[in-house]
Structure 1
Amino acid sequence: MRSVCVITGSRAEYGLLSPLLGVLEADPDLAVTLVVTGSHLSPRHGLTRREIEADGRSFETVDMALAGDSPLDIARAVGRGVTGMAETLDRLRPDLVVVLGDRYEILAAAQAALLLGIPLAHINGGERTEGAIDDSIRHAVTKMASLHFAAAEPYRTRIIQMGERPDTVFTVGMLGADNARRLDKLTRPALEADLGLSLAGPVALVTYHPTTADARQDEAGVAGMLAALDARPDLAVVITGVNADAGGNAIAERLAAFAESRANTICVDSLGWRRYLSLMAQASVVVGNSSSGVIEAPILGIPTVNIGDRQQGRLRGAGVIDAAPEAAAILAALDRALEPDFRARAAAAPSPFGDGHSAERICAAVKAFPLHTLGKKPFHDL
């Protein structure tokens, strides 16, 4: 039996990992351990470990003690994360560690696995998000990992370009497509009762995270986004919580104040992945700079107004409209996204991120790949 340790550090990434966890846990040839860290353990960010508990999953925890949102606070948290992850992984000694994405919590886990000599599998490598430090973290984790699961063929090509062996790099699609296919979505009445908000008219689902590679962009981006939303009083607005990134507290305060001042608007620390995707499926438009707007929204056929360059470099579905971080550009994009013809095109356009069977492909590779060949990692020259 092969032992696999899956690590999650944030609500969004846990939502993506959920279909994979279900497939791995159901396989009799795999022993799966889940390690929970990062903002999952932070009351300030919704204490989302409770969502994992509600799914009936047991898990280990590594507390990074997120004490603030300055760059120094984040750097210190990564240091604590490396130490905690090293101690936990040394005790568990899995055959393989699996991580997803590009956040600093994952950087801590990857460093610990590398230094302990435990093979690392990385999901969603090869992508580009040039407006966030996540871009550098993602590529660093790729070089620490020995097994790679890319969401699309251009991303696989980029991973190989970085020197990874082609036989270790698999194009599997995006796990977000698995959620869109599998998820038992909440109905509109159930969401309305849960949120205390009418969703009968047009609805904007809003998420804005710090642009960590250029924080100067956030002042204009947040102000412009809120002004554009306020110019559309017909919209009901649901704002979700801000990532545990440097500068997040100031953005969270502005979003909360906007929600308090505007009718038909609420701000929720964390919707959880099921409520979030259910609401996205009911929304008229997704607004902000989250990866969910360029990945999950096109899978569900929902238009997105993507603000600024936080997601610059990712593949785009036909329903994504990029807008500069200023009110006029965001409002113009919002008006266009809400046009019936554009919404119809977005709903009909194919997603660039696969068919919703990524979890099965990853599981098959995790079971079958000869892990003993991953001990040495020569650089693959093109």
Structure 2
Amino acid sequence: MFDYLVVGAGLAGSVMAERLAKTGKKILLVDQRNHVGGNTYDYYDEAGILVHKYGPHIFHTNSREVFEYLSQFTEWRVYEHKVLGSVDGQFVPIPINLNTINTLYGLNLSSDQVEQFLKERAETIVPVRTSADVVLSRVGKELYEKFFKNYTKKQWDMDPSELDASVTARVPIRTNKDDRYFTDTYQVMPLHGYTAMFNKMLAHENIKIMLNTDYKEILDMIPFRNIIYTGPVDSYFDYCYGKLPYRSIEFKHETVNKPVFQPTGTVNYPNEQAFTRITEFKYLTGQQHDKTSVVYEFPRAEGDPYYPIPTAENAEIYRKYQLLAATTPNVYFTGRLATYKYYNMDQVVAQSLTLFKKIQQQVLNAETQVNEKQNIRA
């Protein structure tokens, strides 16, 4: 008898498995794929270069709790990710900052001047409802079309005017020269890779792992008391309210016979190319090698579910599933797919740590009630 069947060996499920195992619970961790680590899984390709199978995963967080928790399972390499955009035949920093504007327009503006430059071009939009509204109200039509419009169309196969404001609200606009993609307190990469971190996290005698396994195939074969579910919430309930749509990505990995392929870790291609970006992994990992490996990302409608599509209609469908999930006994839902929301890695870890504390409190409350009843009888 297992105390918990944990469905999904990505961050959400593995954090839950590790935490619960430490309290003496017996855990069966199941994943459809042939590896742990979920979308953060990395491996050494044929050239001997450490690559991320499912596209680049750069760890960044402002949460000391999350950082210290993961630090139990890995040493870190400090890494500040930088992104360039291929716009008008030149590479310019993304997010848009002072250097972006000066390079793009051949100017020499100061921070105050670039702020005024953007203000003069910004459109007055009230209320701000869509992804297009967010960008147009901050930088105006020209920069919106150069950087955001086509990139968003490629990524989502929808016009930005059809998407929730949250999609582009995630990307800052800066008036200084800070060309880091993230500004979090902790910006690091696992020194030996994500897979090594997961292997250490899950190396506990109370955790048994089954890979290449659909959890539904074993529900009637292996006894357990509770489920931690990190898969698609609509799938758990057999799509009773319809299918929640996702965008997927096709990854094209390529090894190049030279030490460096591009000028920074990731280059975005907002316009005519079929792919959205190219990432070169050696920037992320710090690995030294006379060859280099890159990945091209091609957004797709079909494939593994990566990005929940943020529209009002989809949010309404999810709310129905959310209510079902909240009223399903002995099943706990955590992670991107189970809560139909795009989270950064640190947010997934934080969500599972919070769920673990909630379960611990429930156990404590139940034990207290039992003790109180026994005292009354006595």
- TM-score bucket of the superposed structures, by smaller chain: under 0.3
| TM value normalised by structure 2 | 0.26
More strand by share: 2
- Relative to its length, the structure with more helix (as a share) is 1
TM-score (ref. length: structure 1): 0.26
